[in-house]
């Protein structure tokens, strides 16, 4: 069965500093990997996905993520954090035969001015 771990409940970073939100996954075979962001009282917004090819994926709002097959990780990164990036971030995995997403528990990102 697929699973996703986000080892940090909370990540704090100063505005302008780089940020990393960690994600590791477990799936049989090659995965499809996704990052979503959730603002208060809102649904989830798609940021980026990894399907195949280049291990560095670029997405919305300056975010990028690096797929590492040997470490089964898909960490979300941004070179320079903004206060407006403060939100709840979810990593999700989908195996290539599955119909559903499996989401991690989420990481709350706080960017301090």
Partner 1 sequence: DAGVTQSPTHLIKTRGQHVTLRCSPISGHKSVSWYQQVLGQGPQFIFQYYEKEERGRGNFPDRFSARQFPNYSSELNVNALLLGDSALYLCASSWAQGTYNEQFFGPGTRLTVL
Footprint of partner 1 (CB under 8 A): 4, 32, 34, 36, 41-46, 49, 51, 90, 92, 94-106
- Of 100 and 113, nearer to partner 1 (C-beta) is 100
- Of 72 and 106, nearer to partner 1 (C-beta) is 106
Q: How far is the CB of 97 from partner 1 (least distance, A)?
A: 7
- Of 70 and 100, nearer to partner 1 (C-beta) is 100
Q: How far is the CB of 11 from partner 1 (least distance, A)?
A: 16
- Of 17 and 46, nearer to partner 1 (C-beta) is 46
Q: How far is the CB of 8 from partner 1 (least distance, A)?
A: 14
Q: How far is the CB of 103 from partner 1 (least distance, A)?
A: 3
- Long-range Cβ pairs for the range 11-15 (8 Å, 24+): 11/107, 11/108, 11/109, 11/110, 12/110, 12/112, 13/81, 13/109, 13/110, 13/111, 13/112, 14/81, 14/111, 14/112, 15/81, 15/82, 15/83, 15/111, 15/112, 15/113
């Amino acid at each position: 069965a697929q699973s996703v771990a986000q080892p940090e409940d909370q990540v704090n970073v100063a505005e302008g500093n780089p940020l990393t939100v960690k994600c590791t996954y477990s799936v049989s075979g090659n995965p499809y990997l996704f990052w979503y962001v959730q603002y208060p009282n809102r649904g989830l917004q798609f940021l980026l996905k990894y399907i195949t090819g280049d291990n560095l994926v670029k997405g919305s709002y300056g975010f990028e993520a690096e797929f590492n097959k040997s470490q089964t990780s898909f960490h979300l990164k941004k070179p320079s954090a903004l206060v407006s990036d403060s939100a709840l971030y979810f990593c999700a995995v989908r195996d290539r035969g599955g119909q559903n997403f499996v989401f991690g528990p989420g990481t709350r990102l706080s960017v301090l001015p």
